[in-house]
Structure 1
Amino acid sequence: MKTLRYLLLEQLYEWSKFPYRFLFKKEGPWGVPVKELLRYPIESLGYHLGCFLLRHNFTSEPQLEDHDVYHVLTGSGISVPEEIAMQFYLFGNGKRSMYLYTVMAVGTALFPDEIKRFWKAFKTGRKAHPFYHLNFLKLLHQPLSTLQYTFKISAI
């Protein structure tokens, strides 16, 4: 059973998607359906992204596709603490945004028992070469392992 803190963060995320897209995302949606992603070569980022979406019964949120790619690259899960840890990872990697700061602050306040996980994710993100700014749509054909090796991306 989910506790109130899980439900609260999930609801905040749902409420924040539209304003975040409207205010901060200037590029258009990728428009690449899961079936098309699964046609990429098995070793590619695109194929692994398709598998991630299929495994979790997700579709990519328009203009927020990079978020799913971060999950694939870092091997992070989809639980609320894992989502927050991924934001700490990205912060360690150099990403800066009001949205990221808000998730980190609210996440730390609601999940103080996960601070060690968040700190570890931050340190792991610092060890990787900056990758948060890449145009992942253009990299879907690249082997996942090559991207992880090139950017020194380790699993959270």
Structure 2
Amino acid sequence: MATLQEKIEQVRREFDRTPKPTAKQLIAYPQDSLGQLLGYYLLNANHGQNVYADNEDVLHLLIAEESSIKEDFALYFYLFGNGCNSLRTWATMGIAMAVCPIYLPYFYKRYRQGKNALRFYDIDHLGLLYQPVEKVKQAFMII
């Protein structure tokens, strides 16, 4: 019988075998699809053409209103409202509250928006890359 640690390692190996598209490949996705916009986002963020997309990049594209430190912090408040209860989320929110207390009302607003959206933080976002962005946002009630 496999231990929990062995099962975790098995899942991790399976996940690592799943091919992730590069920014250059993503740009070839259908017009206005999540994949194409993710490809442009990765290129514009100076990640390069051969960087691989991951779920965090997809979440940033769906949730963040702009690319800034404030929005990077607000992303984790949104995810916490959506049900993400990870150590990384807690740590980031703690740092955000300590470093940017002036934005607490905005962070709370983003938390409430995450609470009102359908749970989506833990799905395989890479499977949605061919879908239009607006369709994905509507499906999960992302504001």
TM-score by length of 2: 0.82
Counterpart CA distance in 1 for 2:38 and 2:84 is 21
- What amino acid is the match of 2:30? P
Q: Does the residue aligned with 2:28 lie in a helix, a strand or coil? A: coil
Q: Give 2:46's aligned residue.
A: 57
| Identity, % of aligned positions | 33
Is structure 2 residue 94 aligned with structure 1 residue 101? no
Counterpart CA distance in 1 for 2:94 and 2:136 is 30
Instruction: Select the residue among 45, 63, 66 that pairs with 2:34.
Output: 45
Counterpart CA distance in 2 for 1:102 and 1:30 is 30
RMSD: 2.2
- What amino acid is the match of 1:31? K
Is structure 2 residue 91 aligned with structure 1 residue 110? no
In structure 1, stretches of 5+ residues that fail to align are 1-24
Q: Give 2:137's aligned residue.
A: 148
TM-score by length of 1: 0.75
The count of aligned residue pairs is 130
In structure 2, stretches of 5+ residues that fail to align are 1-10
Map Cα deviations across residues 14-47 of structure 1 (whole Å, 9 max, x no partner). xxxxxxxxxxx93327431111000000121101
